[in-house]
Structure 1
Amino acid sequence: MTVGPSRLRLGDLLDALAEGAACRWDPELHTGPDAFVPEPVAERQARMDVAREVCEGCPVWAECLDYALRVRPSYGVWAGLSVRELTALRRDVRQLPAVPVSATPAAA
């Protein structure tokens, strides 16, 4: 699957998430409890697994991924990815070779 960056401004991306994200009804599922409430590792993993399942069918998944890659969140599940996974994805993308414009297929 190929997902390119959107041309939406950051504010418009946030609006799209607020209006159409599957997680908008239960944001704590994706962010976890309050920072001052301890969450056992097993409970956190179970919560994150459920959050990933919600993300799988989300109508604004691509916008969520774009937003998360731009803002670099410090916690939570974004587009089904943890903060650690998002960091690795950004690192992997930076290591991809640039594709020259002349190498792109010509429009028919």
Structure 2
Amino acid sequence: MTTNYPQTVAPSAMSLANLVTELATRGDCRHDPDLHMGPDAFESEPIAERLARQDVAREVCEDCPVWELCLDYALRIRPTFGVWAGHLPRELAALRREVRTLPAPDLGEVA
């Protein structure tokens, strides 16, 4: 996935409030939030419908101009439901675990 967002500041350097503002104003999910979040807690959603909804939500995420910001936000807040930057909560948890196991970069000799 590529980002269309002009990166002048790394997403991880942005405050959560600024990330939320960017996602709310520029994210493609703002046009149909139920697509990404699903029905409310009082509605049931058959498994086949949920899987189809999530697939469509992932497609919307593919070309989103704030995909990278959304991923950063989701990794920080650890959501328990929804589709975030094309990932489900369990997939985001796996990404966090994977990042923790990556070797640290070799910075060479430090003065």
TM-score by length of 1: 0.88
Identity of aligned residues (%): 62
1:17 is matched by which residue type in structure 2?
Answer: L
Higher relative contact order (CA 8 A, sep 6+): 2
Tell me, yes or no, if structure 1 residue 78 matches structure 2 residue 91.
no
CA distance in 2, matches of 1:11, 1:38: 31
Q: Name the SS for the 1:78 alignment partner.
A: coil
Match of 2:64 in 1: 58
Tell me, yes or no, if structure 1 residue 91 matches structure 2 residue 97.
yes
CA distance in 2, matches of 1:84, 1:36: 22
Q: How many residues align?
A: 103
Match of 2:37 in 1: 31
CA distance in 1, matches of 2:42, 2:2: 38
2:104 is matched by which residue type in structure 1?
Answer: A
Tell me, yes or no, if structure 1 residue 68 matches structure 2 residue 71.
no
Match of 1:14 in 2: 20
The alpha-carbon distance between structure 1 residues 79 and 19, as it changes in their structure 2 partners (threshold 3 A), is: same
Q: Name the SS for the 1:34 alignment partner.
A: coil
- Unpaired runs of at least 5, structure 1: 104-108
TM-score by length of 2: 0.86
1:36, CA displacement in angstroms?
1.4
| Aligned-CA RMSD value | 2.0
1:74 is matched by which residue type in structure 2?
Answer: T
Match of 1:41 in 2: 47
